[in-house]
Amino acid sequence: MHRVTLIPGDGIGPEITEAVKEVFSSAKAPIEWDVVQAGESALKTEGDLLPLKTLQSLSLNKVALKGPITTPIGTGFRSVNVSLRQKFNLFACVRPYKNMPGVSSRYENVDIVVVRENTEDLYRGIEFAPGSPEVAMITEMSKGLIATDAAVSIKSISATASRSIAKYAFDYAKANGRKKVTASAKANIMKFTDGLFYESVRSIAKNYPEIEYNEVLVDALCMKLVQDPVEFDVLLLPNLYGDIVSDLVAGLVGGLGMAPGANIGSKMAIFEATHGSAPDIAGKNMANPAGLLLSATMMLEYLGEVDIAKRIETALYTVLNDGKYVTKDLNPNGVSTTEMTKAIVAAL
């Protein structure tokens, strides 16, 4: 039995984590859930976005399944997701996206893994408000290139973190029979930061002669992805570009409701879907549980429970292929979250 931290999260989070619990229980997955809160729900009940109890549970169990968390825009709160990734050094965000049976998409044979650096870049959170002493100092240092009424954010890219994520991507490619790694950034404009990213990745790529390596500027990558996604295999990106490109690739294979993900460090892993808390459909029993369910099967594989992971995936694919008992993001005449969950349980 594996004890795993479960964070239901905000918005659609509780609905889709409930779905995963139900499927896991029917599949007799050997998981004991340690349920704790984070995000808006934790702020309401415990007065803290990221309570100590939650951090203790994560430190103890070292593996977690997490629902999405709402991050209030433009207020003083830092993102709970970003804090968790930095606090536990979950440096690798891994998101496998491929066409699934019965899920309509403009493309066929897409099978792309986005590997995103998860701890630094503009998401480091070094940001200053207009008129702050820091902005005045930066304005002074930049010889007036930055206006004093500007808000300023600092992009910090290190060779250490870039090499770590590159090593992760190449090891992943090797272990999973992947043929090619494509690094992507904007090094023609961001010469020092993205330049250092490329330079660091190249220093690792040369140790993996069996894996093809190339670089594509991130704007060109977006165009090439929508023109011919099949030419890509593993994509390796710094944090911000990785965040944006992840959603783009999710859109190529059926949308955010289907997109899984994992945040992996050397000692801990938190599994979560790519999507957010979807406030527009929260509480309406409409959310597609597949993204979180596939993240949960990634978690089972990480824990060595490969057979049960495969059984659950097969059950999900059966339901998707049938196309009737799926949520409305996949079929306008589709069913609710709970009905889709029941169909997955029946398929098991």
- Taking CB under 6 A as the binding criterion, the range among 64-72, 108-116, 146-154, 190-198 that sits at the site for ligand NAI is 64-72
Residue with tokens 């979560």: 272
Tell me phi and psi for residue 235, to 5 degrees.
-105, 135
Task: Pick the closer one to ligand NAI by CB: 27 or 340.
Answer: 340
- 159-191: b or e for each residue (b if 16 or more CB lie within 10 Å)? eebbbbbbbbbbebbeeeebeebbbbbbbeebe
* Cα–Cα distance for residue pair 86/70, rounded to 1 Å: 18
Q: C-beta of 322: minimal distance to ligand NAI in Å?
A: 18
- Locate the DSSP E strands across 89-196: 92-98, 111-117, 127-128, 152-153, 180-183
Q: 121 or 272, CB closer to ligand NAI?
A: 272
* Distance (Å, whole) CA 139 – CA 127: 14
Of 54 and 200, the one with the shorter C-beta distance to ligand NAI is: 54
Task: Check binding of 277 to ligand NAI (CB under 6 A).
Answer: yes
Distance, in Å, from the CA atom of 56 to the CA atom of 187, rounded to the nearest integer, reads 40
- What is each CA distance from 244 to 116, 121, 186, 317, in whole angstroms? 10, 13, 14, 27
69 is an interface residue for ligand NAI by CB under 6 A: yes
Stretch 74-103 residues interacting with ligand NAI (CB under 6 A) = 81
Among 256, 303, 345, 348, binds ligand NAI (CB under 6 A): 256
Q: Which residue in the list 186, 198, 325, 342 is annotated as catalytic? A: 186
Site string for ligand NAI, 8-37 (x = CB under 6 A): ----x-------------------------
With binding defined as CB under 6 A, does residue 257 bind ligand NAI?
Answer: yes
d(CA 44, CA 216): 44
Q: Which stretch binds ligand NAI (CB under 6 A): 27-35, 42-50, 104-112, 270-278?
A: 270-278
Binding region for ligand NAI (CB under 6 A) out of 89-97, 183-191, 284-292, 297-305? 284-292
Q: Which residues pair with residue 182 across a beta bridge?
A: 214, 235
Is 7 near ligand NAI (CB under 6 A)?
A: no
| From candidates 8, 242, 254, 276, binder to ligand NAI by CB under 6 A | 276
Q: Which of 182, 288, 295, 297 binds ligand NAI (CB under 6 A)?
A: 288
Residue carrying structure tokens 């998401």: 123
Distance between CA atoms of residues 48 and 80, nearest Å: 10
Q: How far is the CB of 281 from ligand NAI (least distance, A)?
A: 4
Which residue of the set 219, 228, 307, 322 is catalytic?
219
Name which of 69 and 114 has its Cβ closer to ligand NAI: 69
280 included as an active-site residue: no
Q: Is 233 a catalytic residue?
A: no
- Nearest by Cα to 312 from 347, 340, 287, 339: 347
Inter-residue contact 66 to 272 (CB < 8 Å): yes
**Is 243 one of the annotated active-site residues of the chain?**
yes
Give yes or no for residue 329 binding ligand NAI (CB under 6 A). Answer: yes
How many residues touch ligand NAI (CB under 6 A)? 20
Is 263 a binder of ligand NAI (CB under 6 A)? Answer: no
Secondary structure of 184-197 in HEC code, one letter for each residue: CCCCCCCCCHHHHH
Q: Calculate Rg over the CA atoms of the chain.
A: 21
219 given a catalytic annotation: yes
Q: Which of 34, 121, 194, 243 is catalytic?
A: 243
Residues with a catalytic annotation lie at 123, 186, 219, 243
Residue ranges that bind ligand NAI, judged by CB under 6 A = 12, 68-71, 81, 256-257, 272, 275-281, 287-288, 291, 329
